[in-house]
Amino acid sequence: MDNLPDKGEGICIIRSHGASLEVLKEIKDRGFEIVDLTCPDVKKVQNKAIELADEGYFVIILGRPEHPEVMAISSNARAHARSGDDVFVAKNIEALKEIEEKIKKHPKIGVVVQTTQRIEYLNEVLDYLAPICKDLRVMNTICASTSLRQNEAKTLAEESDLMVVVGSKKSANTTHLAEILCNITRTIHIETDGELDSYKDIIEKAKNIGVTAGASTPDYIINKVIEKLSKGENK
């Protein structure tokens, strides 16, 4: 549901990405009981961002500004920061370069990371920030399972002519997975087995095809993709 009734009763479930403080207040004000199913790893990022803000750091969140997880992290950090201007979301290194003078002037810079970001992005940011910061504190809050999945997929990609990434194109961890693998071997990103037909020529030419998936991709969807590739129904 995108919109809450003006008044109501019952339970409102917070999904794994978490929710901003503004959304939580709105839910309570309208009479709903909150069941918070925010992922513990996401909670960890929120708490680290709060910790940095409480200690007077300029908080940089590495992630996509429009992503629900990042919006929740930002909301929590801003509630504890000295001002709203002391929290910044950087979707890429270019965004940071736009506020370089502000970073240089601030005495303390703190960094947290959206759980599904690439370690390569974090390393790139560290290389950029280290020479220009007086005091730099970095919290590597990338989810361990995300890092493990990315590393396993990279190994598989090195042995494959083609990688098939299965999962929602709106999923951050799935799209990041596809971005990583396309730098290693030819990669296609699909949501269902039906999309394999659009890549018939590519698949026919591949001798070794690897399949991986995002964290939230249901097993039955992955299995249907593998089954179709195994049977050669797309050919």
Question: Which active-site residues does the annotation give?
Answer: 69
Beta-bridged to residue 62, according to DSSP, are 90, 113
Is 220 buried (19+), middle (13-18) or exposed (0-12) by CB count in 10 A? exposed
Query: From the CB of residue 91, how many other CB atoms can be counted at a distance below 10 Å?
Result: 18
- Strand 186-190 versus strand 136-138 pairing type: unpaired
What's the N-to-C CA distance of the chain in angstroms? 40
- Three-state DSSP state, 51: helix
One-letter amino acid for residue 169 of the chain: K
